[in-house]
Structure 1
Amino acid sequence: MQSSATVLVYSDDANTREQVRLAAGRRPAADVPPVTFVECATLPAVLAALDAGGVDVCVLDGETVPAGGMGVCRQIKDEIFDCPPVLLLMGRPQDAWLATWSRAEAAVTLPVDPVEFPEALAALLRDRLSLDA
């Protein structure tokens, strides 16, 4: 198992970024490595972090303005080679079709659920890290 995993968290709301960190904890599941977070509040910061490499999973807030997480997801899927899997945070369950349009691998609704979120994050980490093995 990899010694640690890096999770990029994109939201213009510091409280949402904090909810993600608290829900995931140091290790979202016993069978995945501890996580470190890279927090981004702007699209340029997301692109710079992804260009630098080393990100295992992206958590994108669909409610961020002006560049929403769904549009950012679609953009990075087109522009970033070997783009990490994306967990999209949606404002409403009815937005699930937009998550599909954006090509996100998983989606959960806001506010961040302390049970649902770490399970979804751990599943993406398992898939990503098994590909790197």
Structure 2
Amino acid sequence: MKFLLALAFIGATVTALSATQARGQSGRPMPSDTTVYMIVQEPPAFVGGKEALFQFIQANSKYPVNSKKGPLVQLRLLIEKDGSVSEVKTIYTDVSEELTQEANRIGRTMPRWIPGSQDGRLLRAYAVVPIRFTNGK
């Protein structure tokens, strides 16, 4: 009987500690994981692959784009665990400010991606997207 009471006490203590850790010391819920990864086993991918990404860029750009040659803007996108794009940043450009702004606008209008993952766990991860304009200077 004492053994069962001790077991029940231990179980209740573990449950209470787990609840405290999940909620933090103040009793408020702890923030979700905000870590962003640069390198993951499965990097974020545009739904449909690279060709679909180029088609999206081409269809949404106000200026002519090229998939292989031309002045370049590289965007770094933060792809959330749900596939949404939450941050767009220019990391390289050799085009005018107007085209750099256009590339950023395209990045902000992107649909959901397939999020990056590590060991089957979805993660917040960066993706780099090159956009080449036909005439960019």
- Greater RCO (Cα-Cα under 8 Å, separation 6 or more): 2
Q: Which is richer in helix?
A: 1
Same fold (TM over 0.5): no
Could you state the TM-score of these two structures normalised by the residue count of structure 2? 0.22
